[in-house]
Amino acid sequence: MTFGTPCITDDGNPGTFAIFEWPVPQSCPMTTIDFALEGDCIALCQLLKLTGTCDSGGRAKTLVADGRVRVDGQIETRKTCKIRAGQEVRLDDTLIRVTAAA
């Protein structure tokens, strides 16, 4: 199925349409990180920092507050949300699967 969506072209002309096929092909493959959790739980922002998904705790807090992080498919805005083994966290094209440490 083809859809048109209003956009502005490179030459600045408004009112033109970009045509794309549905579903839109993924331009970036999903990166999957398996994180072995030692203990009962970990704070969401700490998980993002420890997996290297975010370069700092402050950046992780900002991304969570902006609603860019999903836990088990649901948007999560609590920075201290406790993540447990069996849960999945997604930020953009990165999926973190949390498992219990052996």
What architecture is domain 31-100?
Answer: Roll (3.10)
* pLDDT mean over 60-81: 94
Express as a percent the part of the chain with pLDDT over 90: 65
User: Which pLDDT belongs to residue 26?
Assistant: 54
User: Which pLDDT belongs to residue 3?
Assistant: 41
Whether 94 shows a pLDDT value over 60: the answer reads: yes
Residues in CB range of 80: below 8 A, 6 or more apart? 43, 44, 45
**pLDDT, tens only, 9-50:** 455 555 444 444 445 455 567 899 999 999 999 999 999 999
Residue ranges covered by each domain of the chain: 31-100
> How big is the chain by its Cα radius of gyration, in Å?
18
Of the pLDDT bands very low, low, confident and very high (cuts 50, 70, 90), residue 71 is very high
Residues in CB range of 68: below 8 A, 6 or more apart? 91, 92
